[in-house]
Amino acid sequence: MIIRAKAPLRISFAGGGTDVAPYPEVEGGCVLNATIDCYAWGSLRSREDRQIHVESADLGISLSYTVESEMPLDGRLDLVKAAIRKLNAHNSDGFDVFLHSDAPPGSGLGSSSALVVGLVGLFREFKNLPLTEYEVADLAYFVERKELGIQGGLQDQYAASFGGFNFIEFYKDRVIVNPLRIRQDLLNELEHNLLLCYTGTTRRSDHIIEDQTQRFEKQEEKTVAGLRQQKQLAIDMKNALLQRRLNDFGSLLHLAWQAKKDFSPRISNDFIDEIYEQALKQGALGGKITGAGGGGFMLFYCRFEHKHRVAEALKRMGAIPTEFAFEPMGLQTWRVHED
């Protein structure tokens, strides 16, 4: 028996940072995001010899254990091993797991969290577990943030599990996913006008998020104000989108980036600032980093007749424009029966 899984990556528009503890517990957070046609892929093949084999195509790492092995968390595919342990998947006759992602860790598209969501999906099917989308996301969050102590927020796991355009609210004791019903013509126009651009570098978000968290805990005025503004902008952008005010949506994206940079001085750098200024000069209405900051992908909103100019200017700077489409589906799993 073979089980496949794919979980979509996401782009975030506003609210990122308000999903990072302890902000949701203290003030309540919210984000506006959408999944795109880039995925974390997984495959599981059952075995009968009590062996477990795990391979990551992206990291070039292969590991082998028996089902009785402790599988120590030693920095080598710890996300996989922690997920196996959490879902008790090693209590079986064995299996092979193969993993691949369309974007590297540190891309700002939530690829690591999508990978864990995909793993939970694989083991849900393998163990016949009756898990809802909320429970899948919560398990993925626990594995990544609690079990392994990888710093970050809540939005990526819920985006990958549910899929589509979502306004997600975060509170001390619950998460509420509000799917947005957006007409296809509006989605088409957004795809035409949005430009996703790879800066050429990835980054570990741990230190950026740690710095932001410490500043919030110390109640530094600029950080607290930036987080509160980011939360309000998520609401404003949701309303602009639902009311079909796309130019306002683009302008609010600019304000979201300005607010995000107030979280921590580590979020931007000279190269990112130069890319952003050049994009505005060529006709973009607004844009932002899609993740914690420091590198990865940037997202810009342009009037369509200016989009090619923005893309060409950024290519000359060494950045890589990337086409994408929105993905309405979240985590998907299916079974393949071999001949």
For the chain, give the mean pLDDT. Answer: 93
Query: Does residue 74 lie in a domain region?
Result: yes
- Where residue 199 sits, what CATH number does that domain have? 3.30.70.890
pLDDT in tens, 267-277: 888 888 999 99
With b for 16 or more beta-carbon neighbours within 10 A and e for fewer, the 207-225 pattern comes to: ebbebbbebbeeebeebbe
Rounded CA gap, 158 and 181, in Å?
17
Query: Average pLDDT of 105-121?
Result: 93
Whether 102 is catalytic is no
3-class DSSP assignment, residue 31: strand
Same domain, 162 and 194: no
Query: Average pLDDT of 321-334?
Result: 96
pLDDT at 339: 66
Same domain, 138 and 24: yes
pLDDT in tens, 181-210: 999 999 999 999 999 999 877 666 557 788
Catalytic residue (one of 19, 138, 156, 236): 156
Rounded CA gap, 310 and 288, in Å?
14
Q: Which domain holds residue 59?
A: 2-181
pLDDT in tens, 283-308: 999 999 887 666 789 999 998 899 99
Cβ atoms of 202 and 296 within 8 Å: the answer is yes
Cβ atoms of 151 and 209 within 8 Å: the answer is yes
Asked whether residue 246 carries a pLDDT value surpassing 70, the answer given is yes
pLDDT in tens, 129-147: 999 999 999 999 999 999 9
pLDDT in tens, 150-186: 988 999 999 999 999 999 999 999 999 999 999 999 9
If one counts the domains in the chain, the total is 2
Cβ atoms of 305 and 207 within 8 Å: the answer is no
Rounded CA gap, 113 and 106, in Å?
11
- Where residue 158 sits, what CATH number does that domain have? 3.30.230.10
Query: Does residue 331 lie in a domain region?
Result: no
pLDDT at 203: 62
Rounded CA gap, 126 and 42, in Å?
12
With b for 16 or more beta-carbon neighbours within 10 A and e for fewer, the 106-118 pattern comes to: bbbbbbbbbbbbb
